[in-house]
Amino acid sequence: MNVQKNGTAAGAGLVLGAAVLWGTVGPAQVMAGSPLGTVALGGWRMLVGGVVLGALTARDRDRLRVLAARSAWVPLLVCALSTCLYQAAFLYSVSLTGAALATVVALGTAPVTTGVCAWWFTGERVGASWLVSTGAATAGCALLLVPGGRPADALGLLLGVAAGACYGLYTVFAKRLVADNPAVHLPTVSAVSLTAGAAMLLPWMVTDTAGLSDTRTLGLVAWLGLATTVAAYWLFSAGLTRMSATAVGTLSLAEPLAAALLGVLVLGERLSATAVAGCLLMLIGLTAVSLPGVRRSSRKGAVVVTVGEVSSPRPHMGALVASDVVGDDEVSCSPSGTGAGHAR
């Protein structure tokens, strides 16, 4: 019993560590004050993270051969596009709205977009937990648009929602990739998606080079690529082996809390009362979608416990996230941040 409790505690610490690292993305961008454009910055983050993750997962070439199968092409392309667009949308949202609001909006809408994408593309049924999270996240976004104190930038909020939509697409198609190709190694998918996403942003990366000679920019790229992508990914994946998907999804809520606290305490950002209420509502929505749901099986008297009808842990583009029902070796990828790791 003590061994199990210690393992759970260690897993919680690992997941919290990953979430806190993801939560530093926005504040780090603001603190660095880099002259590099947000799109180019996203590209460099993905390139550094993708190359390092690729080096760590390239030992087994069979993993890459699996991704060469024709059935993997479309899901892999969607994952790469989602990763690319997430980075650009999220980092630009941070520059317009601030680290705190950008993180909470992107994360608050992710459960909604994941549910919609799962229903639309795979016919996955949504349940009460998803409906609760949808209502809370929608109400929270609406409150962020209510004037009070410093009004939030509408374009920045829209870009945050777009980042959440990219997260939903990535999550659904990563799960589809695993379903169609059971031999797929998702850490390799994460590396390929990040590298391909960086290639899509190459035009911005080669034309926006003025900031690359700035030490602040180099430090920011190193932090985003190594800490918030590679390190956060490994912490999160290690935590997954020690905890249930439900607990991991709940602990991932530390990300927006970390970003909000850093934004307010370190960067001096101020949130209006309505913005605070909106943030709280979106966090409630995330909690609701992370809680286990109970549904009855078609077999008489059988009860099945699931982690909601639609999974929605974080994170971050390029990071691993747990699917609805996770076995010992079943995980699915998410873009960041972070994605998950990501992303996210």
Q: How confident is the model at residue 316 (pLDDT cuts 50, 70, 90)?
A: very low
Q: Which of 114-118, 212-216, 293-297 has the highest mean pLDDT?
A: 212-216
| Separation between Cα atoms, residue 103 and residue 26, nearest integer Å | 7
Q: pLDDT > 70: what percent of the chain?
A: 68
* 34 within 8 A of 41, measured Cβ to Cβ: yes
| Separation between Cα atoms, residue 96 and residue 121, nearest integer Å | 32
Q: List the alpha helices (DSSP H) in the chain.
A: 2-23, 25-32, 38-57, 62-67, 70-97, 99-122, 128-144, 154-180, 186-200, 202-207, 215-222, 232-240, 245-251, 254-265, 273-290
Q: What tens digit of pLDDT does each residue of 233-286 get?
A: 777 766 755 665 445 555 666 677 677 778 778 878 777 787 788 778 767 765
Q: Is the pLDDT score of 48 beyond 90?
A: yes
Q: Is the pLDDT score of 321 beyond 60?
A: no
Query: Cβ atoms within 10 A of the Cβ of 95, count?
Result: 18
Q: Is the pLDDT score of 13 beyond 70?
A: yes
Beta-bridge partners for 334:
319
Higher pLDDT, 104 or 245: 104
Predicted local confidence at residue 331, as pLDDT: 36
- Classify 192 as helix, strand or coil: helix
- Classify 32 as helix, strand or coil: helix
* 198 within 8 A of 43, measured Cβ to Cβ: yes
Tokens of 57: 């997962």
Of 62-71, 137-146, 267-276, the poorest mean pLDDT is in 137-146
